[in-house]
Copies of this chain bind each other. A is one copy, B any other.
Amino acid sequence: MHFMQSLQQAWTGNNSLVCVGLDPEPAKFPAHLKGRADAVFEFCSAIVDATADLVCTYKPQIAHFAALRAEDALERLIAHIHAKHPGVPVILDAKRGDIGSTAQHYVTEAFDRYGADAVTLNPYLGRDSVQPFLDRADKGVILLCHTSNPGAADLQDLDIGGKPLYQHVAQMIARDWNTHGNCALVTGATWPEQLAQVRSLVGDVPLLVPGIGAQGGDVEAVVRNGRTSAGAGLMISSSRAILYAGSGADFAQAARTATIALRDTINRYRQH
C-alpha cells in the first residue's frame, strides 16, 4: 500500500498522531536484556508489540543501529513490523542526501534492503538529489524543513528575499517537488511559530514533528499550530520518553502507558 494511504488509515484506525521513534541505546535497556546477543531486536520489537494499536507510524533512527553494527537487527525489526502490524507504516530516519547516481543506492538501502515505507532526507543538494526517491511514488519522502535543534537557525532561518530559507524550502517542496503527492516535511516541535508558518504554506502536506519530551517541545502548541483542518496531518514523534519510560522487566508495559498518555494529550487538542 502507498505510504500516504497507510498513514491516513493508521491516523484514523488507531485514532493517533503518535510516531514512536526507535532509537535503541543498550546502556538504557532493562537489566534482563543487557548483554543478550539479540538485545536490540528484542527490545525494539517488544516496544512495537506493546504499542502498535496506539501509533500512526514507527521511526527507527538508523544511526543508533549503525553505531552498534546492528543492520541485521534493523532489517528484522522492520520485517517484524510489516508482518505483525501491517497497518503501521515505517519511516527510516536516515536524513540521507547525495547526488542522483549515489541517491539511487540510498533508495535501494531504504526501500529495497530495509523495506521502509518512507525515509527522511536532507534537501540541501536540491531536487535532482531527491528525484530517485520521489519517483518511488508508493514511498514517503520526508524532507528536513525546520529541524528541532537550536542550530536549526544557523542556515534554516537565513533571510531569502524577505522570507527565511525554511519557508522557501517548504514552498518549493509543496509546489514543485510533490508531483506524486508523496512528500512530507520535518518541522521541530521546539519551534512552534515556524510550525504554524509551515502549515500555512503547505496545505495538508503531513508534518513529522520531533522534539517533544526530552527536547522540550510543547504538545499543545504543536497540535494547535500544526494540525490540518481535519485535525490530523501530524506525526508527532517521541523516542526516549516512551522507550525508556520503564527500566525494569515491565518496560514494554511502561512504554504502552506512556504512549497512551501522549496519544490522549495530543487528541485533546486536535479538534478545538
Residues on A close to B: CB < 8 A? 23, 61, 63-64, 66-67, 69, 71, 95-100, 102-103, 105-106, 108-109, 112-113, 122-130, 144, 147-156, 158-161, 165, 168-169, 172, 210, 215
**Which residues of B sit under 8 angstroms from A149, Cβ to Cβ?**
99-100, 125-126, 128-129
Whole-angstrom distance between the alpha carbons of A61 and B148 in the complex? 28
Please report whether the interface of chain A is mostly helix, strand, loop or mixed according to DSSP.
helix
**Which residues of B sit under 8 angstroms from A156, Cβ to Cβ?**
124, 126
Asked whether, in the complex, the Cβ of A172 is within 8 Å of the Cβ of B154, the reply is yes
Asked whether, in the complex, the Cβ of B169 is within 8 Å of the Cβ of A155, the reply is yes
Q: A160-B160, A168-B158 are in contact. Are A126 and B98 (CB under 8 A)?
A: no
Report copies per complex. 2
**Which residues of B sit under 8 angstroms from A95, Cβ to Cβ?**
96-98, 122
**Which residues of B sit under 8 angstroms from A168, Cβ to Cβ?**
158
CB-CB nearest in chain B for A24:
B105
**Which residues of B sit under 8 angstroms from A124, Cβ to Cβ?**
122-124, 144, 147, 155-156
Q: A97-B95, A154-B172, A158-B165 are in contact. Are A66 and B126 (CB under 8 A)?
A: no
